Amino acid sequence: MVNSRFSVTIHILSLIATTSDKSQLTSDIIAGSVNTNPVVVRRMIGVLKKAGLLTSQTGIAGYDLLVEPKDLTLLAIYHAIDGPEQLFAIHDEPNPACTVGRKIQRTLEGVYTTVWHAMEEQLQAQTLQDVLDQLR
């Protein structure tokens, strides 16, 4: 199911990309911008580092992008944080004696698959740079 991790991740990456003095970017500062707990930020940064999108130096504040914003698709970011594999959940065990209940799961799977593919295409077509351009 959709959650806010993706939005928080884009927020973090946007802040890093637009901050010239990287030494100012502590997890506390980033958390203040996102309006969340620094532990959440550190967790997300760890995921982004593991995915090869960010780097930092031990004992020195700040983070650097390893991918240029123009080359970093929103789909790559989504995959980096292990975004959910589905947007919608289909309810379990509809009544098989009902004409709708009997077919609703299979029908919705087809609809949701189409929506999922359209979402992936849109995320692939947009980059972090596109987000930064809209922020300006």
Residue 1 has pLDDT above 90, yes or no: no
Q: Which pLDDT score, from 0 to 100, does residue 90 have?
A: 84
Looking at the structure of the chain, the number of domains it has is: 1
DSSP states of the chain: ---SHHHHHHHHHHHHHH-S-GGG--HHHHHHHHTS-HHHHHHHHHHHHHTTSEEEETTEEEEEESS-GGG-BHHHHHHHTT--S-SSPPPS---TTSTTTTTHHHHHHHHHHHHHHHHHHHHHH-BHHHHHHHH-
pLDDT digits (tens, 9 = 90+) for 69-85: 999 999 999 999 877 66
CATH number at residue 43: 1.10.10.10
Mean pLDDT score, 61-71: 95
The domain of 130 spans 5-135
Percentage of the chain exceeding pLDDT 70 = 96
